[in-house]
Structure 1
Amino acid sequence: MSYTVDFNTVSTVGLKSSPVAAALAGLRANEARYFKNKYGHVFTVEPANNAQSTIDWVGRILEDERGIVVSSRPLEATAFQVENIRFAYVFYENGLSINVM
């Protein structure tokens, strides 16, 4: 089930298995605030098992273009387009957040 990130009330929903869940939730809320204020876009994330195509796309870009393979488990991801720019975010269990545009 998707989760609409509320940047006014930071929640660890979907991130609780992370040892740094509170910090990761704050980072996710900050991204939600940015996209709402800049583009009027509501930032919604999906659990990793529902967002595999986005996770695979980001993973391919990292590996093919930068030689990076993330070993941490992805928890959530989102992909969307605003103003002709395609964005993708993946939030990982170790606290890493990767965005591609």
Structure 2
Amino acid sequence: MSQVIDFKNVSTEGVESSPVAETLAGLRANEARYFHTKYAHEFTVTDAADDPETVEWVTRILKDERGIVIASRPLQVAVSDVDGIHWVHVFHESGLGVNVLWTVEEGGKRAVGFKLSEGMDVPDELSSLNFARQKSTLAGVIRGSYFVIKGEY
């Protein structure tokens, strides 16, 4: 079942099992606000178990590009197609948000982004990355990093 994320009334629905559920919900709401402001798009999530193909696509990109295997269980997935960009977000129980930006047009931008919810440690599998800090009224301090995708998926 899908759920439109309300960035004005932040809810932990769907991420309650996370030890940082409040800040993960804030991180998810922060993404929803971005999509609402930039694209006038409703940010909708589904249970990761209901969309294993999308989770597998992101998993394959991480493994093939950088040898990264996320240890934490995926809780929710969001797929957004806006302005010629295919965006996929996977929110993990640890508080990690992974997003894939895939410009549909040949030669466009393609990257993987990682965002860590406030209160979580950097997972071992991401310890080689450098994280920048960003303040968010919805999520507190978000730490983020990214890499450019080189392959075709």
TM-score scaled by length of structure 2: 0.65
Corresponding position of 1:35: 35
Matched ranges for 1:1-101 at <5 A: 1-101=1-101
Percent same amino acid at aligned positions?
Answer: 56
- Distance of 1:32 and 1:86 partners within structure 2: 15
SS of residue matched to 1:53? helix
After the TM superposition, which segments of 4 or more aligned residues of structure 1 sit over 3 Å from their partners?
A: none
Is the 1:51–1:78 contact (alpha carbons within 8 Å) kept by the matching residues of 2?
no
**CA displacement, residues 25-72 of structure 1 (integer Å, 9 cap, x when unaligned):** 000000000000000110000001112111111101000011100010
Query: Unpaired runs of 5+ in structure 2?
Result: 102-153
Is the 1:54–1:78 contact (alpha carbons within 8 Å) kept by the matching residues of 2?
no
Question: Number of paired residues?
Answer: 101
> RMSD in angstroms over aligned alpha carbons?
0.6
- Distance of 2:76 and 2:38 partners within structure 1: 22
How far did 1:6 drift? 0.1
SS of residue matched to 1:62? helix
Question: Per chain length, whose mean CA-contact separation is higher, i.e. which structure has more relative contact order (CA < 8 Å, sep 6+)?
Answer: 1
Larger Rg over CA atoms:
2
TM-score scaled by length of structure 1: 0.98
- Distance of 1:62 and 1:38 partners within structure 2: 27
Amino acid at match of 2:30: N
How far did 1:78 drift? 1.3
